[in-house]
Amino acid sequence: MYAFKYQKAASVDAAAQALAAAPHAKLLAGGQTLVAAMKLRLADCGEIIDLGAIPGLSGITVESKTVTIGAMTRHAEVAASTALRSAIPGLAALAGGIADRMVRNMGTIGGSVANNDPAADYPAGLLALGATIVTNRRRLAADDFFTGMFETALAAGEIITAVSFPVPARAAYAKFRNPASRYAIVGVFVAEFAGGVRVAVTGAGPVVFRVPEMERALAANFASDAIAGITIPEEGLSSDIHAQADHRAHLVTVMAMRAVQAALQ
């Protein structure tokens, strides 16, 4: 691990000021990606700004039409929330399937979203649910937030404070996971609203994406058979030691059908 300076921010404004003073500094939320990269000397941050002591950045608020989750809320808290399991059970189930117990007890929704790992689970949930990412400066629609592999629309000095979700009529997530890491080789989140259906895929490509053809088919008939014949083009999908592009394309349809079945149950 390279040497670095450490400071614990007392407020979001203080963290933003510290970040402005040290543009190459990194924000520390749960640390499940950052600390591992630092230990392997894959990241040389120079300075770490810890968000862990800032009040008001964690917690889950469930209202009739909206769920708001603070950026520092742990995955385990999301999975265990009775109110969330009642409002959006698919999102709680998604959080409960992230990595292992240690990661779920330390990792945060804000950290995961900001990191935007191409195989992370939360991006599919945010995109399918049409979530809004709240920062210290503005509100960003999920459709505009995830811009590329490990890339987001966050500007320099911008800090995620919460994520807001509209409550769907029904929704569910299904993933074909790596047996060791539990990262999504392919994960599909399906959400039905009064105005239509949204289908988001993680793990299959360099960044989370929607499948409009499936969305149209499910809007007409919300049943797994409605998308059974829809094939996903291999072009642009990832090929690696875990799965080739053609296998991932096949898994998108399989996981989407399972997600629909889970939502119907």
Q: What domain range is 49 assigned to?
A: 1-53
> Residue 1: is its pLDDT beyond 90?
no
Q: Are 78 and 60 in contact (CB under 8 A)?
A: yes
What pLDDT sits at residue 46? Answer: 87
Task: Tell me the two tokens of residue 122.
Answer: 């939360």
Residue pair 19/157 in contact by the 8 Å Cβ criterion: yes
Residue 144's pLDDT is 98
Question: 141-162 pLDDT, tens per residue?
Answer: 999 999 999 999 999 899 999 9
Residue finishing a domain among 11, 28, 53: 53
Mean pLDDT to the nearest integer, 94-100:
96
| Structure letter (DSSP) for residue 227 | G
> Could you tell me if 208 and 123 are in contact, meaning their C-beta atoms sit under 8 angstroms apart?
yes
Task: Specify the CATH number for the domain of residue 49.
Answer: 3.30.43.10
Mean pLDDT, the chain, rounded, equals 96
Residue 56's identity, in one-letter code, is G
Query: Tens digit of pLDDT for each residue in 181-206?
Result: 999 999 999 999 999 999 999 999 99
29 in a domain, yes or no? yes
pLDDT tens digits, 219-237:
999 999 999 999 999 999 9
**Residue 74 counted as domain residue:** no
Task: Tell me whether residue 64 is in a domain.
Answer: no
The residue among 15, 32, 53 that closes a domain is: 53
Instruction: Give per-residue pLDDT as tens, 113-149.
Output: 999 999 999 999 999 999 999 999 999 999 999 999 9
Burial status of residue 204 (CB atoms within 10 A of its CB: 0-12, 13-18, 19 or more):
buried
The reply to whether 92 falls in a domain is no
Write out pLDDT tens, residues 53-63: 999 999 999 99
Q: CA 244 to CA 29: how far, in whole Å? A: 33
Q: Taking 90 as the threshold, does the pLDDT of residue 95 lie above it?
A: yes
217 occurs within a structural domain: yes
Asked if the structure places residue 6 within a domain, the reply is yes
The CA distance from 113 to 126, in Å, is 9
How many domains is the chain built from? 2
In this model, does residue 23 exceed pLDDT 90?
no
Q: How far apart are CA 139 and CA 208, in angstroms?
A: 19
The reported pLDDT for the residue numbered 22 is 87
Taking the C-alpha atoms of residue 153 and residue 141, their distance in angstroms, rounded to an integer, is 10
CATH number of the domain bearing residue 206: 3.30.390.50
Supply the DSSP string of 181-198, one letter for each residue. Answer: T--EEEEEEEEEETTEEE
> Distance between CA 65 and CA 13 in Å, rounded?
30
Quick one: pLDDT at residue 142?
98
In a domain, 152, yes or no: no
Q: What is the mean pLDDT of residues 60-83?
A: 98
| % pLDDT > 70, the chain | 100
The DSSP code sequence of 113-180 is HHH--TT-SHHHHHHHHT-EEEESS-EEEHHHHEEETTEESPPTT--EEEEEEEPPSEEEEEEEE-TT
For residue 180, is it within any domain?
yes
Residue 264: what pLDDT? 98
Q: Which tokens belong to 38?
A: 């630092």
Task: Point out the domain boundary residue: 11, 29, 53.
Answer: 53
Q: Is the dihedral of CA 8, 13, 14, 18 positive or negative?
A: positive
169 — pLDDT class (breaks 50, 70, 90): very high
**45 pLDDT higher than 90:** no
* Helix pair 122-129, 89-96: axis angle to 10 deg: 170
Which pLDDT band holds residue 43 (cuts at 50, 70, 90)? confident
